Structures are given as structure tokens and as C-alpha cells.
Amino acid sequence: MKGFVYLVGAGPGDPGLLTLRGKEVLERAEAVIYDCLVHTDILQYAPADAYLERMGKTGHGTQLPQEEITARLVELGLEGKRVVRLKGGDPCIFGRLGEEAIALTEKGIGVEIIPGVTAASGAAAYAGMTLTHRDYAPCVTFVTGHRRKDGGVEPNIDWDALGKLGGTIAVYMGIKHLPEVTQRLIDAGRSPDTPVVVIHKATWPEQKALDGTLGDIAERVEKAGMSPPALVIVGEVTRARSHLGWFEKSPLKGKQILVTRAAAQATGFCHLLQERGAMPIELPLIELKSFGHQSSVDAALKKLFSYEWIIFSSANAVEFTFSRLKELGLDARVVGAARVCAVGPKTAAALESHGIRADVVPEKYIAESLIEALASTGEIKGASVLIPRAKEARELLPEELERLGARVEVVPIYENVRPEPHPLALEVVKKGNIDAVTLASPSAASNYAELLKENDLPAAHFPVVVIGPATKARAEKLGLPVAAMPDEYTIEGMVGSLEDYFRED
């Protein structure tokens, strides 16, 4: 049985620009052939056992013939594989889509084309401008500045007509022939003062935009040493950059931040970083798992109502507790008259999602502040207290509560285990392409230090931003260079600390 090939546009660089359909087929792929311009974070959507092969061209350096790429796609298709061909930008625009699709269909291999965000759209948006404007850019023209080297017929571009047309011109692969392109447009009637912007690695953390005019942009590009991949945008729309350059003004623009949270918890953090122009690199160092279902744990959960206080030190503790209650056929009613304490707003919000409002939420989201808040109630001495928590949690909370006279029972409801690191994300770390590491728990700090040791990397390899005092203490004990810690011990606080750190750097 013959396979099927999906020709997928991966977008210009930022992994967040992959379409939902592209992600959907990638998650079911048996083999992935990807371009050099595809961000490797996108490959994490592929199944762990999928075959991955990098094949493509970057406009400079090693060139892989298109015929060889096409032949490989045909070979995998004939083997019966479900193949995803990931191409930078949109494969329908200067993506050699026709050659690959025709070759596949001629062999009887099924094909689906999934468009993507093309480089011109991505470059314009991330450089802070539009491609059209109703006052002075009623049209936009996509043109290639590339010249074939294989003896084929060059596209017949009517530069005279293009120069007279007006509107915006987006030149793909034009940086190598920029002097020729700009001169042809000037000869065709475009003013040498026409504004131009050249955008290198659009939507990537390394994005750089260089402004100029048709008359001087080639010289500016040469002096700046700007290299492919780059896209050239010509026209009055480029003047808007001074007002709309949101990406380049982002506090963390261009910074690659290692996110070590559990995969299920990393999404919100990554979104916050992306909104500020950073490129999060996900390398989960913690995986949360239910800690068995021991009879003593289940017995404690079945009689939650009998405790005077139930203390949740994290949103994870809440979710694992209520997940197990559901498995036992119970719900929030089992809490009865017991009073509930949450260590912070996220934990309190998790409780509210299960119909329970926390009676106590400390001002600071750490165990020390929680103890102080409980002590101030004057109702801890002699009280029975249940703490559902992680297996590896600090003993400070139960020990201090017992010192205050409480009768404490600790229930290990979940545990932190270290997952296998994704090889692509690990490769980014090993190559040193990280600007800062984020650690949101002491366990993450321990696992990160262990990972560095296993890969013969020094503990001080990258600056570290931690979520709070306990994580900071663990990190410093392990010799990790703590660069910042927020005043508010939350993910949002960590993002703020990253901004402050790089602003001062």
C-alpha cells in the first residue's frame, strides 16, 4: 500500500505561526522531511518514534539538490509511510511545491497541500508594518530575486512594468542580487528615495531589520554584513515601522529562554514569553505522576471532612487530589466543614474550579508565609491538619505546624519524576544557544543540574531565573548561577524578572 505525503507550510520561523491543520498532521506523521528554515521546536509535535530528516537549502552553505529531496519523498511514500514535508513559509509561494507534488502524484502517492504563513506576511507583521494600505499601497507584488544555477530558464520578470505598477514589492531571496534589483527598479521609474526595509530571519529571535532607500539599501546591507535568509520589502508601507515595531521593541526580543516546567504546565509560560518577543525552548525536566493509590492515602481522602484544616501548597496538589476523589466516586462535598488553605492565587483558583473557596491565602506564596498566616488565626494548636502534596516536598510546613501544636498528616498524592529530554531541545542547550534558564521548583533545579553534569556542561553554563526562595536555595546549593528571582513567586513574576535582568544586562 502506498503512503501519503502532506506538503505543509511551517511558517517563516516562529513556531507559533504553524497552522492547526499543520500541527494535526504532524502529530500523526511516521516520517518528517523538514527544511533548514523550519524551527526545530515545531518538530516536537511529531510522535517520539517518527523518522526525522533535515533536507533543504538556506540560500548559502551546503546545497541539497531539489531532485534528491523529491526522490526521498517519493521513496518514503512508496514505502507506505505517512510523510509530512515541512517547508519554511508557505510552500505555494516560491517553495518548489509544484515539482514535489507532481512527482508524487505521478507515482500514485496521495498528496495534501497545507498552506502556511508566507515569509512576506510574517516579515511585514514582525517588522511592524502592513503590506498594503488603502492610501498608498493598493497592491502588493511577490517576486523572486533568485537566479537559477542549473541551466534552467530564468523567470521573465518585467522590471519596467513592475517599477511603474506602484504599491508594495516583496522580493524573496533577493539579498544576493540586491544591487541589481534596486537599480532595475530605479531605472524603471521608482524614485531612489523610495523606502526599503530588509528583514533578516523574520519572526526568529535573531530577526534584524535594516531600513534604507532604493538608492542606498544595497550599500547599507553590505556594510551591516547581512546575509540570507532575508526578505526585501519596497514601498511606502515601510514608513509605519517607527510606529508599529512591536516585535523589536519587546523587552525580551531575540532571547532564547529554556522552559523546564512539566509539558502540561509549560504552555501558559511559553505564551507569556512569546508575547514579549522571546523564543521559549521547551525542555521539560519534570513529569508529574499520581503517587500510587495506597490504602492510607485513599483512607485520608475519604474522610476529608474529619480534618479541621486541609492545606494545599500548589495547584498540582489540588488537581491530583480531586482527580483521585473522582476515581473514588467522591466530590467536593467530602470536604465538609473542614477549612481550606491555599498557598497562592493559582492554587486558590484551582480550588474554586472544584467549587471550594480558600479560607486562607497568605500574602507571599511560600510555606513560611503560609505558616505565619495560619498561626495568626489562633486556631492551629490542637487542630488536625491534612497536607496533600508532592512526595518530594520540603518538610518545613508540617514541622512548623507541629511545633505550633497541630496534629499533621501528610499525604503524598503525586510525585515529580524526570522525563527523558527531547533530543532537539537538548541539542540547543549543548550548543550553548540559550540566553537564560527558568526553574519553577527545587526538583527542576536538581534535574537541571543533573542534566548539565551528564552532558559535561558546567553548572554556570547559563544564567538562571528561579520562581522563589526554595528553588533559589536549591539552585545555589547545586552551584547554579541565580541571576534573578521575582518579588511575586509566580510565573508572571518570573517573566518580569527576566525582563529586568536583560534590561540591566
Burial 64-84 (b: 16+ CB within 10 A, else e): eebeebbebbbebbeeebbbb
**C-alpha closest to that of 411 among 435, 440, 385:** 385
Q: How far apart are CA 109 and CA 3, in angstroms?
A: 6
Separation in Å, CA 435 to CA 22, 40, 180, 205, 308: 29, 17, 38, 11, 47
Catalytic residue, chosen from 35, 41, 90, 435, is 35
- Upper half-sphere CA count for residue 136 (Cβ side, 13 Å): 10
Q: Which three cell numbers stand for residue 412?
A: 503524598
Q: How far apart are CA 113 and CA 18, in angstroms?
A: 14
Q: How far apart are CA 97 and CA 92, in angstroms?
A: 6
Q: Decide if 57 is catalytic.
A: yes
CB 360 within 8 A of CB 342: yes
Handedness of CA 190, 192, 194, 195 (dihedral sign): positive
Q: Which three cell numbers stand for residue 82?
A: 505517512
Catalytic residue, chosen from 14, 41, 57, 435, is 57
Locate cell 523567470: which residue? 155
Which residues 6+ apart lie within 8 Å of 329 measured at CB? none
Q: How far apart are CA 297 and CA 315, in angstroms?
A: 18
Beta strand pairing call for 436-439 and 464-466: parallel
CB 448 within 8 A of CB 439: yes
Q: Which three cell numbers stand for residue 60?
A: 548559502
Which residues 6+ apart lie within 8 Å of 149 measured at CB? none
Q: How far apart are CA 328 and CA 326, in angstroms?
A: 5
**C-alpha closest to that of 207 among 313, 127, 107:** 127
Catalytic residues: 35, 57
